[in-house]
Structure 1
Amino acid sequence: MATYAVPEVLGGDILLGRSLAKSGALADLVRDGLPVKALLLLAERLDLRQSEIAESIGIPLRTLTRRMASDARLTSAESDRTVRLAQVYATAVETLGDGNKAAAWLKTPNRALRGQRPLDQLDTDPGVREVEDILGRIAYGVYS
């Protein structure tokens, strides 16, 4: 649903260094590793500190700082988690209508998630599906 917005959330073709118009281009980019600047842009969109974004994708802060200094790329696993976070953010923006509202919603404890923040659920595939399910219910006006 919001898959087409993911490249823009991560900085678009210019920041990512290639056109992602072709099918499978995003998967190839994830395998090659995203530029660390894409992660920093996502952190800015989510209004997260570097330590928070590092924790969300499972990278030590010192490693992130070192990669930022050398303008290095993320590993494929880190890139995959970054894209997963970008996809959920893009879906939240589409559902809630605004980037600031989406960022706030992702950082606010939610009853449907047993009082936990949606952002904290994005470290596993089942957690991502649960957050996406809640966003789908919001989009269709289904309350639980």
Structure 2
Amino acid sequence: MAEALVARRSSPGGVFDSRAVYCASPADRVQFIKQGVSARKAKTFIMNFDLDQKVMLDALNLKTATVNKKAVKDEALSTDDSERVIGLVKLVGQLQSMIEESGDPDGFDAHEWLSTWLKEPLPAFGGVRPIDYLDTMEGQGLVSRALAQIQAGAYA
């Protein structure tokens, strides 16, 4: 059920619908993570960022060789790796939702915006870049809260 919920709204080519992942229930996301995320889908999703694929894989603490090998064989990532990928998908969905709620989303590219923002040292993180927190779920939670505070005007 969880995979159907997330996959049914995926765009052509099998890339995740980030907003659907963000809006899915935690139980559905957990079930989807436990089933394992397709390495091929993960690679395709990561290639949407304006960052080198290796930079993003390293940021998520994913081994490039493992992801590439599993993508060629169309295998799923481990539960731990799947969780970090879904966490990133969820962050993109959160940003898309924020933009839709805040006004005119036409022409806004969440991947492009995040690619820039993730590389910038953030005063709220003591000068640490948000990308440096993507390797753990606790770190992704910090990044998510920072995005929410931006929308609320706390970092304006």
Instruction: Please report the TM-score for the alignment, with normalisation by the length of structure 2.
Output: 0.70
Larger mean Cα displacement after TM superposition, 26-35 or 101-110: 101-110
Q: What amino acid maps onto 1:44 in structure 2? A: M
Mapping 1:55-134, distance limit 5 Å: 55-95=58-98, 98=108, 99=110, 100-134=112-146
C-alpha separation in 1, matches of 2:89 and 2:136? 14
* Residues in 2 aligned to 1:93 and 1:103: alpha-carbon distance in whole angstroms: 14
1:34 positional shift: 0.8
Q: 1:15 maps to what in 2?
A: 14
Aligned counterpart for 1:44 among listed residues 42, 47, 51: 47
Residues paired across the two proteins, number:
135
Paired residues of 1:93 and 1:102 also in contact (CA < 8 A): no
Give, as a single letter, the amino acid of the residue that structure 2 aligns with 1:131.
V
Deviation, structure 1 residue 22: 8.1
Instruction: Tell me the residue number matched to 1:3.
Output: none
Tell me, yes or no, if the aligned pair for 1:7 and 1:13 is still in contact at 8 Å.
no
Contact (CA 8 Å) 2:62, 2:81: kept in 1 or not?
yes
Q: Give yes or no for contact 2:133–2:139 (8 Å, CA) kept in 1.
A: yes
Residue 35 of structure 1: CA displacement?
0.8
Question: Cα distance 1:115–1:84, how it changes in 2: closer, same or farther (>3 A)?
Answer: same
Please tell me the root mean square deviation across aligned C-alpha atoms, in Å.
Answer: 3.1
Gap change, CA 1:131 and 1:106, over 3 Å in 2:
same
Q: Tell me the distance in 1 between the aligned counterparts of 2:114 and 2:96.
A: 5
Contact 2:119 2:129 in 1 (8 A): yes
Question: Alpha-carbon deviation of 1:43?
Answer: 0.9
- Matches of 2:59 and 2:155, distance apart in 1: 28
Task: Output the CA distance in 1 between the equivalents of 2:129 and 2:135.
Answer: 12
Deviation at 1:89, TM superposition (A): 2.2
Residue 40 of structure 1 aligns with an amino acid whose one-letter code is K
Cα 1:22–1:57 change in 2 (3 A) is closer
The structural deviation recorded for 1:87 is: 1.1
Gaps of 5+ in 2: 16-20, 100-104
Q: Percent identity?
A: 21
CA contact (8 A) 2:59 2:135 kept: yes
